[in-house]
Each structure stands twice: as structure tokens, then as C-alpha cells.
Amino acid sequence: MVFNSIAFVVFLPIVVLLFYLLPHKWRWLMLLAASCVFYMWFVPKYILILLVTIVIDYAAGILMEHYADQPRKKKTFLIISIVSTLMVLMVFKYLNFITENLDQLCASLGMETHLMTHIILPIGLSFHTFQSMSYVIEVYRGHQKAERHFGYYSLYVMFFPQLVTGPIERPGNLLRQLHEKKEFRYENISKGMRLILFGFFVKMVVADHLGEYVDEVYGHLDEYNSWTVLCCMVFYSFQIYCDFFGYSTIALGSAKLMGFDISDNFKSPYLSKSIAEFWHRWHISLSTWFRDYVYIPLGGSRVKYGRWVFNILVVFVLSGIWHGAAWTFLLWGFAHGLLHVVEKTLRKALPTRGHAPLTLPGFGNALRVVKTFVLVTLFWVMFRATDFEHLKAIFVTAFTNFGGGEQMSVKPGVWIYLGLFILSDILLRNTRFDKWCDDKPLVLRWLIYAVLAFMVICCSSVCNFPFIYFQF
């Protein structure tokens, strides 16, 4: 089930109503059943894969706690859990990629093989796999008690607002809240509805309209000139941001309706002054996951320079591979890691100098923001390209065809939607839409709600694009 569907518009109010009508002791069961329905709306049989990882990690958590005084056994159960979970991810997400490349390698050596598989990737597998892994690692470290109630642990992994595209929750936040008795509060309903409405606007009005142009241009590069392709690159930067940010905002709102606070996943990333800051503001739950469970265990920054470079590149390459089983994703991750290393190295090597007398206040920061946005936009081409040939074609057309091809005509409304979103992103740089509305006059708040509702109902794109991060 997708958020931008009639099915979800019917599903969510029913779940929220049942949540508050049922006694606390039965709410977990209703939420678990609802989450199963939500997940099975896509491919019902794939819930069995999810069940396998849930059983393995649930048992591992209890066994690690039971053998807490026997480090070797405790570590063995951790390894079994992580390896088993990663094997599931490997088979369903990466086996097609591995066999395809092996076939190509053998063909280049004159051998004919037919290893290629055709396994369909379950929706959101990478997200709930990492959420399960964070639980067993936290139990192993002694930061989290093993959950003895199988139903509550299953709900922690399957909680429907963030099941498919995150945020990747830690047990210390979500699992604790699932046990708490939630009382009906108008404030939660109000904040939740604000977030859902804003999320619908960001996804259905901004992202989907931009997606129409991106798909058209990237699918017919030979028909358009360089200016159009460059514009399309910028459009894709905002499409993927609005698409993912819209989903995350709807997820936050859906959980908030029932009193649950899940993690913010974005904080105006395109206003970042460096690639490091960008990753502190973009897909925050994934960035902190890799920081806590990969980067710091490797030694983090408390090592010699060469090892630090290695640690950074490992984290970013893994992040790229996590996003997709393709060489373009690996290249995208490596490019981000390399830029992070270059920026930090230059910052340490170059002496800090005060502003020149004629420098306008904030002008230097504005240039850094523009620089970061331009580089991130160029890197998004690697993320969007279907393969290296497509990637090459995009860059060649973008920088060598200024005089030929057609100029894309963009409807004025699209510029208005994009402009409104950029303005909102600037206003919300250090806050969130529901919180930003709190201290605004009643008339202004309801005017904003009315405008957003009107735009969602009347200005949504006719193309109903699936959420981009569903494929991960």
C-alpha cells in the first residue's frame, strides 16, 4: 500500500480509530495486523521473508542476553544473526547483480554461462533489514534489553508508517514507545494532520510534476539541448528530495496521529555548506546507522590519516551499494566519499582567514551552499542513470549540445510549486512544518492548510509516480 493512494486514505483513519477505541493491551495486535495488511498489499508472499528475519533476530536477542556472561557465545549469536539477515538481503537484492556480472565476465573470457537469476526485490527490504540489525547490535552492546514479547518485537520491525521507506528506527526510540500507553490528545491529531497534508503537497504536487520532465528528458536525450538536460538535472535533485522527504513527512504524521514520535529524516539538506553537512541533513537515519555501526567500529576519525580515508570510503561505498545493486550506485557512493575526504583535507590544510573588508555578510556561506548543491546535483546523475552508457550520454548531452536539440517547455505552475517548496525549505531549516505552525496566528495557519489542501486536490500531477525509495 502506498501513501498517495485511495486505499491508504481509507486505511489510516480506520487504524487510528481502532487504536484509540481498543484497550492498550490489544493495540499491539491491531497495529501488527494492520502492518501486515499494509505490507501484503504489494506482494503477499514476501511477508514470509520478513517473518524469517524477525524470528532469527528475536531469538538472537534473547540468546545473547541469556549468555551475557559468556562473551564468546554471545558474539557467536550476534554473528549468526547478522550473517543470516545479510544473506537474505544478499539473495533478494544482490544475487541478480552478481550473476549478471559473472555471466558478462565469463562471456568476455569466451565461456558461455547462464547464471542470471530473476528474483524480485521485496519492498523496503534494506530498511527493515537494517532496523533488525540495529536491534541485535544494541542488545549485544548492552544498550537494549532483549524484547521477550514476540508480538511487540514483530511490530517494531513492521510498524507500517516507516516499514517500507524508513526512517530506520532504533529500538531505544520506537520499541520503548510501542509499550507505552498512548492517550488521545488533540495536539497529536493536529500535528499529524499537518504533517500528512504537507507531505502530500511535497510528493504529489512538487515531486511528481518534476518527475514528468525528468522521465521525458532522460528517456529521450537525443531530442533535447544541453540547457534542457542541465535543467533536468536540477529538477531531479528536487524530485528525489521531495519524493523521499514527502514520504518521510507522511510517515511522521501517520505515526504522530497515534502519539508515536519517529525520527526526522531530513533537515533542509540543500542548504548545506559542505558534503559532510549534507549527510548530516539527508537521510539522517541511514547516515547515523552507518556512523554508529560501521564508521565508529572501524576506528572513526581516531586513527591515522590513511586509515581515516579508508574508513570514510568504506562507509560511503557501502552506502552506495545499500541504495542499489548497480555499479552506478557504487560510483555515486564513492564520489560522495571522495569529496568528503577532499573537503576535510583542504579545510585542515588551508589556513583560516578572516573575511575581506568588501565581503558581504553571509556571502561566503551562500557560495558554499551553491557549491555543495551543484556537486550533489551532478552526483545525482549517477544515482538516476540506468547504467554507465546512460550516465555518459547524460553528461555528454549536458555539456556538448548547447546549440542543437529542443528546449524543454516547462509549465509556469511547475515553477510556482518548486518556488513554494524552496521557500518552505528555507523557512523550515531549523524546525519542522508542524512545529513551525504552532506559534502562527489562527487565520494564517488555516489559510496555509487551505492552500495546501487545494493544491493537493486540484494541482497534483496526473502521473502517479511510485516513491523512488521503494526500490531500495
Active-site positions read 323
8-state DSSP, 224: B
60 φψ region: left (φ > 0), alpha (ψ -120 to 50), beta (else): alpha
CA–CA dist 336, 314 (Å, integer)? 11
| Angle value at C-alpha 25, between 24 and 26, nearest 5 degrees | 90
Residue closest to 28 by CA, chosen among 191, 149, 139 = 149
CA–CA dist 88, 50 (Å, integer)? 9
For residue 269, give Cα distances in angstroms to 16, 134, 280: 32, 25, 8
Residue closest to 135 by CA, chosen among 115, 159, 101, 116 = 159
Burial call 39-49: b when 16+ CB within 10 Å, e when fewer:
beeeeeebbeb
Nearest 10 degrees: Cα torsion 375, 377, 382, 385: -160
End-to-end CA distance of the chain, in Å? 16
* Chain centre distance of CA 233: 19
Grid coordinates representing 83?
550473517
Quick count: other Cβ atoms within 10 Å of Cβ 168? Answer: 26
Grid coordinates representing 89?
538481503
